[in-house]
Structure 1
Amino acid sequence: MARIVVSQNITLDGVVQDPTGDEGRPFGGWFNRITPADREAWAELETAEAMNAEALLMGRRSYEYFAARWPARTGAWADRLNALPKYVVTSTLDDLKWANSVPVTADSVAKLKQSLDGDIVVNGSAQLAHTLLRNDLVDELRLIVFPSLTGAGTRLFPEPGATRSLRLRAGRNLGDGLTFLTYEPVRDV
Structure 2
Amino acid sequence: MAVHTEQQRKVIADAVVSMDGYTSTGAEDDMGWAMEHITSEQSEIMYEGIWRGVSTAVVGRVNWEGFTSVWPGLTSDPTSSARTRDLGNWLATVDKVVVSRTLEQSDLDKTEWTNARVARDLEAEVRSLKAGPGRDILVLNSASVIQALLRADLIDELSLTVLPTTLGGGVRLLPEGFSSKWRLSHATTVPTTGAVALCYRRT
Q: Fold-level match, TM-score > 0.5?
A: yes
Aligned to 2:126: 109
Using the TM superposition, give the Cα deviation of residue 91 of structure 1 relative to its aligned residue in structure 2, in angstroms: 2.2
1:183 aligns with 2:200: yes
State the alpha-carbon separation in 1 of the partners of residues 37 and 127 from structure 2.
Answer: 39
State the alpha-carbon separation in 2 of the partners of residues 80 and 24 from structure 1.
Answer: 24
1:45 aligns with 2:46: yes
Say which is worse superposed, 42-51 or 143-152, in terms of deviation: 42-51
Q: The residue matched to 2:158 in structure 1 has which SS? A: strand
State the alpha-carbon separation in 2 of the partners of residues 88 and 35 from structure 1.
Answer: 25
Do the aligned partners of 1:42 and 1:175 also contact (CA within 8 Å) in 2?
no
Question: Paired residues, what number?
Answer: 179
1:4 aligns with 2:11: yes
Using the TM superposition, give the Cα deviation of residue 41 of structure 1 relative to its aligned residue in structure 2, in angstroms: 1.0
Deviations 1:145-184 (A, max 9, x none): 10112221111113222x1001000012124211110001
1:119 to 133, 136, 156: 136
Q: The residue matched to 1:93 in structure 2 has which SS? A: coil
Q: CA 1:35/1:71 → structure 2, altered by over 3 Å: closer, same or farther? A: closer
Using the TM superposition, give the Cα deviation of residue 29 of structure 1 relative to its aligned residue in structure 2, in angstroms: 3.3
Do the aligned partners of 2:27 and 2:62 also contact (CA within 8 Å) in 1?
no
Using the TM superposition, give the Cα deviation of residue 126 of structure 1 relative to its aligned residue in structure 2, in angstroms: 0.5
State the alpha-carbon separation in 2 of the partners of residues 141 and 24 from structure 1.
Answer: 22
Deviations 1:108-156 (A, max 9, x none): 2211221133211111211010000000000000011101122211111
State the alpha-carbon separation in 2 of the partners of residues 67 and 35 from structure 1.
Answer: 20
Do the aligned partners of 2:37 and 2:195 also contact (CA within 8 Å) in 1?
no
1:87 aligns with 2:58: no
1:29 aligns with 2:44: no
Q: The residue matched to 2:72 in structure 1 has which SS? A: coil
Aligned to 2:80: none
Q: CA 1:110/1:35 → structure 2, altered by over 3 Å: closer, same or farther? A: closer
1:169 aligns with 2:155: no
**% same residue:** 29
State the alpha-carbon separation in 2 of the partners of residues 137 and 24 from structure 1.
Answer: 27
Do the aligned partners of 2:54 and 2:135 also contact (CA within 8 Å) in 1?
yes
Using the TM superposition, give the Cα deviation of residue 35 of structure 1 relative to its aligned residue in structure 2, in angstroms: 6.7
Which is greater in Rg? 2
Q: CA 1:24/1:122 → structure 2, altered by over 3 Å: closer, same or farther? A: closer
State the alpha-carbon separation in 2 of the partners of residues 57 and 13 from structure 1.
Answer: 25
1:158 to 175, 182, 194: 175
Say which is worse superposed, 126-135 or 107-116, in terms of deviation: 107-116
Say which is worse superposed, 46-55 or 132-141, in terms of deviation: 46-55
Question: In angstroms, what is the RMSD of aligned CA positions?
Answer: 2.2
Say which is worse superposed, 106-115 or 138-147, in terms of deviation: 106-115
Aligned to 1:100: 115
Q: The residue matched to 1:180 in structure 2 has which SS? A: strand
Q: CA 1:2/1:104 → structure 2, altered by over 3 Å: closer, same or farther? A: same
Which amino acid counterpart does residue 119 of structure 2 have in structure 1? V
